[in-house]
Amino acid sequence: MKKCNIYLIGFMGTGKTTVSRKLSELLGFEEIDTDAWIACQQGQSIPEIFESYGEHFFRDLETELLHRLGKEKHKIISCGGGMAMRQENVTLMQESGVVVLLTAEPETILHRVQGDDSRPILNGNMNVPYIQELLAKRLPYYEAAGEIAVATDSRSPQEIAEEIEKKLNSGKIYFDF
Ligand code: S3P
């Protein structure tokens, strides 16, 4: 079956939301940000959802959303950084789209997320050793889920979006434009 959605996955601060915007301009697909969608549906910010109901509840909302998105076509879906940690999520994404992994070095990530308190996982842990350790734990999951990987350090969202488009066009991916 041809795949017709693009899922952007990767650690916090790898540029999923900004790259999704550029890719949306480039391909003319609508973009959906899973964090923004969940916050809007719940009428609460992500930190408020974590605070009120806990992380597990938030993770269930993510999985529920992926079940709905599987029926969509030609969407660019920018996923929260924990999305690839559940095998059920990975299966849902791979069945309905191409999974694109964005990567960055811990120092780049820290630079991008510093001063932003909207990520409960990083609040109180804004330092390179913590990011490095969590990234090392998550990397095998990200790498197993991603069908295309793009490094984002020192590159503009436009360059990254163009590289993704090129890889989708390479013939190695069965993508339906
Ligand atoms: C999370 C990443 C966040 C958001 C939530 C949890 C994570 O999304 O889903 O705070 O566990 O990595 P971004 O990757 O868009 O920051």
* 73-106 confidence digits (pLDDT tens): 999 999 999 999 999 999 999 999 999 999 999 9
Q: Whose CA is nearest to atom 1 of ligand 1?
A: 81
The Å distance, Cα 34 to ligand 1 centre, comes to: 9
Q: Which atom of ligand 1 is nearest to the CA of 119?
A: 10
What is the share, in percent, of the chain residues with pLDDT greater than 70? Answer: 99
Question: Residues 128-140: what's their mean pLDDT?
Answer: 98
**By CB neighbour count within 10 A (0-12 exposed, 13-18 middle, 19+ buried), where does 149 fall?**
middle
Is the CB of residue 10 below 6 angstroms from any atom belonging to ligand 1?
A: no
What is the overall mean pLDDT for the chain? 96
Question: Cα 145 vs. chain centroid, distance in angstroms?
Answer: 11
Question: Is 55's pLDDT higher than 80?
Answer: yes
Listed in sequence order, the residues at least 6 apart from 126 whose beta carbon sits closer than 8 Å to its beta carbon are 110, 113, 114
Whether residue 113 is predicted with pLDDT greater than 80 in this model: the reply is yes
How far, in Å, CA of 62 to CA of 58, rounded?
A: 6
Determine if ligand 1 sits within 6 Å of the CB of residue 62: no
Q: Choose between 4 and 159: higher pLDDT.
A: 159
Closest C-alpha to ligand 1, atom 2: 81
Q: Which DSSP symbol is given to 67? A: H
